[in-house]
A and B are shown apart, each in its own frame.
Chain A
């Protein structure tokens, strides 16, 4: 394949990836997840104070936070250069597309240019990656490309090139400040060293030194960021203090069907074949790095030590990279047979097979996914304009971040659970406050959390309640009420409304002294 043709085709693939994400991102004014709004708040705080929200006065009505700040600084820097609109909508699309670029570069190195082209095309349609990184500004969008960038840079390190070592260290440093998932990367490096030892392949000295350095460096950096959380949660920090009720959403039992559904059937089966071949029959130092990563991720998923989403995203990319090797081998095999003249047909057949198995689930999932409804944004804007600045708003876990970002009011729960004591009790209390028929019981809790307003929006579906059963004209009164399908005017646009209520809490439980 000529270089220019290769680049043109790859350029078109990148364009396809960007267009697909662009279409789904810009078709909606709001973001896909509530968590995206916490990123916006962090960037906003950096803009105002220079540092992210290590003490958040609104989240949980005031709490300390621990996190890797790198991603927020990157977004802030980009928002200064490109402006907020482009940064928050378009830059995540570019970040996510970097994953496709990573697949192309790695596959080209491991296999060849045509295989890299096919793999990069498949990578656009890894269902879980495409769905979870479209119309969001979550760190995932950058973490996955960084993962593979670091792996690629590591595999390029030689004893002769000092530049290679420096580039790798810069990438690793960046990765360490962006995400704690760098630990998975380190585990993969350690397993890689072990695999090479088992296979009696000498590990070059520069790489050996870099593995030691990476281990020490990442441990140290992550301890710096998470020392408080370690003291509070101990080893359970792995599960991020996620409430028991929600933990199945994040760390779930994994089985082959789930992997196939989220990653795609073709990459899955061919990846298994490649892993089998290079583990038991052939030797390839470069490939062992990716086999190690696949093994580590699979083990972490089996033992429920990594979030399902991130685990499957990385696994998906590894499988697509393995597929490039299979594609290369298949093409060379066909070349040796009498069917060589039908090679283009085989390629078309492969692409069609892939179209049927991966594109379908991806597009279906993209169409199914929901973003924060505009009617909810309208209700939150109403709260922002009509309530006291210090008001505390009761919302569900899925509304916490939009309450703090859009309404600029205190919430009592959101998706950042680290450092929160008795999180399970809090979750139960919230359910009680929405579902209890008893005004006394509800008021006890409302007074304890000092709640001033109750937002009944997501709770309708989460707790299956249409209204608060304990509402009374003396104590709990609706102050904002839209019936389902009323048209709500927001920024001169009419939006569908699924019925939102905001109640004001007028009374508190007085303690008997």
Chain B
């Protein structure tokens, strides 16, 4: 068995060093091309580089220079405005975000390139994964964290532990949980080396499972299955693609004996996903891409009896990763809120409604309402909302579905709602399926409501709280 792995190592080492460098450099170019193409496609489709709704909040925070959201009074949880804020003085937000994304991508790619030694596939898989799109085409705290992690990895590979620790502290500024994960993982890896794997597994998995049950219960109760939170192919916004997961598992098998640390890393990523799905998936993605790259390299370097079959298989692997990436990109670009009718309505709200009025709509529109109309909203869909569903959401959901005017008026008054924004998407599946369902029925048949503005795709209703 040992000799088999030694042979494999020798074969890897024998691969032309220049060829490795060439493929690595080509990987960087592919990443850059994917980044540029995605940005161009999104810009041509939506007229903005902003993809994620949360990015609107980052821009608002950077513009207001305040720790509190003036529209909700809450403390901002986002930190990535720290880099955007100075740029907004000289550039408008679109260009500033684009510049930041490009710089952070260059930093990440640069350090990853220097960290990777024999791994010449990592960058290709990274660029084709949904993870790449969610990190470098959308500006968020995680974009900065990704850049910092690439720096930490580089420093570790060069055994500069003190510098790595300082960078870890920087991560703590952006996300405590992420920093905690990195520190715990690093420390654990040093400790685990002296422990037996099965004992670690014996204790950590049950603990993780129980924490998971506590954390994910609400999300599961709301009808979202664990798989739908985990895999982008099943509709998860920040998940892993199925193709990548399968390749990752193959990669794990490939390096199980050769790189003992891999199994610990894999175990950690699985546990992290179970404990806190959003942050966990971030790290799980990095590890899965690494493992998948190992699997693909094993495919490339393994001598097959039918060489042509091997070439087709490798081509198919890249096609399947590409396919996952494209379908994720398509869904993400289509999700971007820039429907001209919606923009027209939001502009109308900004100009014609009192400044302190509150607008109710589907939770995902909250960021654009705040950004374009500067009005308060009731519920916000956050990156972490899947872990802890907002209790307000349940009230609002009840109101959306209720045909009882008293229930509707009570909930709307409770949250001081003045306007209700309805879009075509909300009427065709997002919330309702029929024209006379729930709130739609109440608004049409009660004199408490009056339609104040409408376009082909949107309706704005005024709720008369005084009545």
Q: Which residues of A contact B (CB under 8 A)?
A: 159, 162, 165, 169, 205-206, 209-210, 212-213, 216-217, 219-220, 223-224, 227, 230-232, 234-236, 421-422, 425, 444, 448, 511-513
* CB-nearest residue of chain A to B227: A235
Give the residue of A209, A220, A448 whose beta carbon is less than 8 angstroms from that of B310. A209
Residues A448 and B434 in contact, CB atoms below 8 Å apart? yes
Residues B435 and A235 in contact, CB atoms below 8 Å apart? no
The secondary structure that dominates the A interface is helix
In the complex, what distance in Å separates the CA atom of A513 from the CA atom of B323? Answer: 47
In the complex, what distance in Å separates the CA atom of A38 from the CA atom of B156? Answer: 61
Residues B233 and A223 in contact, CB atoms below 8 Å apart? yes
Residues of A within 8 A of B231 (CB): 234
Residues B327 and A220 in contact, CB atoms below 8 Å apart? no
Residues B225 and A220 in contact, CB atoms below 8 Å apart? no
Residues of B within 8 A of A205 (CB): 304-305
Residues B225 and A236 in contact, CB atoms below 8 Å apart? yes
For chain B, which range describes its interface: under 10, 10 to 19, 20 to 34, or 35 or more residues? 20 to 34
Residues A220 and B435 in contact, CB atoms below 8 Å apart? no
Residues B445 and A512 in contact, CB atoms below 8 Å apart? yes
Please report which residues of chain B, range 434-449, place their CB below 8 angstroms from some CB of chain A when the two chains form the complex. Answer: 434-436, 444-445
Interface string of B416-446 (1 = CB under 8 A from A): 0000000000000100011110000000110
A-binding segment of B14-22, B314-322, B397-405: B314-322
In the complex, what distance in Å separates the CA atom of A231 from the CA atom of B246? Answer: 18
In the complex, what distance in Å separates the CA atom of A429 from the CA atom of B225? Answer: 27
Given A231-B235, A235-B225, A235-B228, A216 and B317 contact (CB-CB distance below 8 Å): yes
Residues A231 and B234 in contact, CB atoms below 8 Å apart? yes
In the complex, what distance in Å separates the CA atom of A159 from the CA atom of B324? Answer: 34
B33: min CB distance to chain A, Å:
23
Residues of B within 8 A of A210 (CB): 309
B167: min CB distance to chain A, Å:
37
B289: min CB distance to chain A, Å:
18
B248: min CB distance to chain A, Å:
14
In the complex, what distance in Å separates the CA atom of A159 from the CA atom of B304? Answer: 11
Please report which residues of chain B, range 296-353, place their CB below 8 angstroms from some CB of chain A when the two chains form the complex. Answer: 304-306, 309-310, 312-313, 316-317, 319-320, 323-324, 327, 331
Q: Does B243 contact A (CB under 8 A)?
A: yes
Residues B313 and A231 in contact, CB atoms below 8 Å apart? no
Residues B327 and A209 in contact, CB atoms below 8 Å apart? no
Residues of B within 8 A of A511 (CB): 435-436, 444
- Chain A to chain B contacts (Cβ below 8 Å), 22 pairs: A205-B304, A209-B305, A209-B309, A217-B316, A219-B242, A220-B243, A220-B316, A220-B319, A223-B242, A224-B323, A227-B233, A227-B327, A230-B234, A231-B233, A234-B228, A234-B234, A235-B234, A236-B225, A421-B433, A422-B433, A448-B434, A511-B435
Residues of B within 8 A of A216 (CB): 313, 316-317, 320
A44: min CB distance to chain B, Å:
30
Give the residue of B228, B235, B323, B436 whose beta carbon is less than 8 angstroms from that of A220. B323
Please report which residues of chain B, range 280-297, place their CB below 8 angstroms from some CB of chain A when the two chains form the complex. Answer: none
In the complex, what distance in Å separates the CA atom of A210 from the CA atom of B305? Answer: 10
The secondary structure that dominates the B interface is helix
Given A213-B309, A213-B313, A512-B444, A220 and B434 contact (CB-CB distance below 8 Å): no
* CB-nearest residue of chain A to B317: A216
* CB-nearest residue of chain B to A221: B316
Residues of A within 8 A of B434 (CB): 448
Residues A165 and B309 in contact, CB atoms below 8 Å apart? yes
Give the residue of A165, A212, A227, A236 whose beta carbon is less than 8 angstroms from that of B313. A212
* 4 further contact pairs, Cβ within 8 A, besides A209-B309, A209-B310, A231-B234: A210-B309, A213-B309, A217-B312, A220-B243
Residues of A within 8 A of B327 (CB): 227, 231
Residues A209 and B304 in contact, CB atoms below 8 Å apart? yes
Leading 10 A-B pairs by shortest Cβ distance: A234-B234, A234-B228, A235-B227, A205-B305, A220-B320, A216-B316, A213-B313, A231-B235, A230-B233, A220-B316
Residues of B within 8 A of A219 (CB): 242-243, 246, 320
Residues of B within 8 A of A425 (CB): 433
Residues of B within 8 A of A159 (CB): 305
Residues B305 and A234 in contact, CB atoms below 8 Å apart? no
Residues of B within 8 A of A234 (CB): 225, 227-228, 231, 234-235
In the complex, what distance in Å separates the CA atom of A217 from the CA atom of B311? Answer: 12
In the complex, what distance in Å separates the CA atom of A48 from the CA atom of B313? Answer: 36
B265: min CB distance to chain A, Å:
24
Residues B306 and A206 in contact, CB atoms below 8 Å apart? yes
Given A216-B317, A234-B228, A235-B234, A162 and B246 contact (CB-CB distance below 8 Å): no
* CB-nearest residue of chain A to B445: A512
Residues of B within 8 A of A220 (CB): 243, 316, 319-320, 323
Residues of A within 8 A of B227 (CB): 234-235
Residues B316 and A223 in contact, CB atoms below 8 Å apart? no
Most buried by A among B246, B309, B324, B433: B309
* CB-nearest residue of chain A to B324: A223
A373: min CB distance to chain B, Å:
34
Residues A513 and B444 in contact, CB atoms below 8 Å apart? yes
B441: min CB distance to chain A, Å:
9
Give the residue of A209, A212, A223, A421 whose beta carbon is less than 8 angstroms from that of B429. A421
A183: min CB distance to chain B, Å:
13
In the complex, what distance in Å separates the CA atom of A159 from the CA atom of B320? Answer: 28
In the complex, what distance in Å separates the CA atom of A265 from the CA atom of B162? Answer: 73
Interface string of B84-104 (1 = CB under 8 A from A): 000000000000000000000
In the complex, what distance in Å separates the CA atom of A220 from the CA atom of B313? Answer: 11
In the complex, what distance in Å separates the CA atom of A224 from the CA atom of B326? Answer: 12
A82: min CB distance to chain B, Å:
34
Given A223-B320, A448-B434, A231 and B305 contact (CB-CB distance below 8 Å): no
Residues A213 and B225 in contact, CB atoms below 8 Å apart? no
A63: min CB distance to chain B, Å:
13
In the complex, what distance in Å separates the CA atom of A236 from the CA atom of B228? Answer: 10
* CB-nearest residue of chain B to A429: B434
Residues of A within 8 A of B331 (CB): 231
In the complex, what distance in Å separates the CA atom of A244 from the CA atom of B227? Answer: 21
B434: min CB distance to chain A, Å:
5
Please report which residues of chain B, range 349-400, place their CB below 8 angstroms from some CB of chain A when the two chains form the complex. Answer: none
* CB-nearest residue of chain B to A231: B235
A238: min CB distance to chain B, Å:
11
